[in-house]
Amino acid sequence: MTQRYTVKTFAEMAGVSVRTLHYYDECGLLKPSAYNKQKHRLYEMGDLLRLQQILTLKHMGFSLDEIDALLNSPGYEVRRSLKIQKQAIDVQIEQLRQVSAALEKAITEVEAIPAATLDWMNVGAIIRGIVQDNKDSWLRRYYDDETWARVKARGRQFSEAQIREGTQAWADLIAAFIKLRHRSADHPSVQALAAQMHDLIHQFTGGDPQIRAGMRGMYADMDAIPQNYRIPGHDQELQDFMMQAYTIYEEANP
């Protein structure tokens, strides 16, 4: 017979509160495997793996609604998800190590010299490290280690001005697609935008097929993109329309 645990025992095993398990049950994120005669929740060891998935994804910045959609999607596969989560966590660890080193340097400087002469470039490195950590944890899961290294290397080739120009170019392109979303994807005016989209994608990927595949995966699930990285009006329906137009363009321009 499968071993089952009360909600209190299961919470202690998992290191979470009973209230958390109650909440996850109520919102449908983690249902108990069974109930006893008194209608008390009972959990099995398999539930522990799902709880781990929930907590790890939550730590990575996913909302509970996003986690629910991801875990219940038909294509969800636990082994692949664990690998992706590990990769994302490893990136965060390395990023935090760099922030820790910058903090250690700042502490040493503060103790040795007046604050007025502190190396503010080092303080800037701390801030950039913390901000970049949040960004990387989202992007990282769409690339394997080798491809991610190429993404990072390619990013270092662009100046801040070029990055701002690229971001604005995407915003302008999306706004143009919004105005034409009532037309068919193969309409000449829409295809002209698809040509611009092709150029912007090539600027980002440099023609690298793995980087391009990761980019496709990222925009295939718009709900996973943090709100602060979304361009207003760019929803899943619009993205599907853009990709349909882009596919038509690619087929016509191999």
pLDDT tens digit string along 45-68?
888 888 888 887 777 667 787 788
Nearest to 205 by CA among 193, 195, 216: 216
Residue position matching structure tokens 């109520």: 26
- The percentage of the chain sitting over the pLDDT mark of 70, rounded to a whole number, equals 73
Is the Cβ–Cβ distance between 43 and 32 less than 8 Å?
yes
d(CA 56, CA 49): 11
Pairing of strands 34-35, 5-6: unpaired
Q: What is the CATH number of domain 5-71?
A: 1.10.1660.10
Give pTM, 2 decimals: 0.46
Q: Residue 207 corresponds to which tokens in the numbers above?
A: 């023609």
Instruction: Count CB atoms within 10 A of the CB of residue 11.
Output: 19
- The percentage of the chain sitting over the pLDDT mark of 90, rounded to a whole number, equals 13
Residue 42's pLDDT band, with cuts at 50, 70 and 90, is: very high
Residue 180's pLDDT band, with cuts at 50, 70 and 90, is: very high
| Spans of all domains in the chain | 5-71, 78-142, 156-252
Starting at the edge strand found earlier in the chain, the sheet holding 5-6 runs 5-6, 41-43, 34-35
Query: What one-character DSSP code corresponds to residue 11?
Result: H
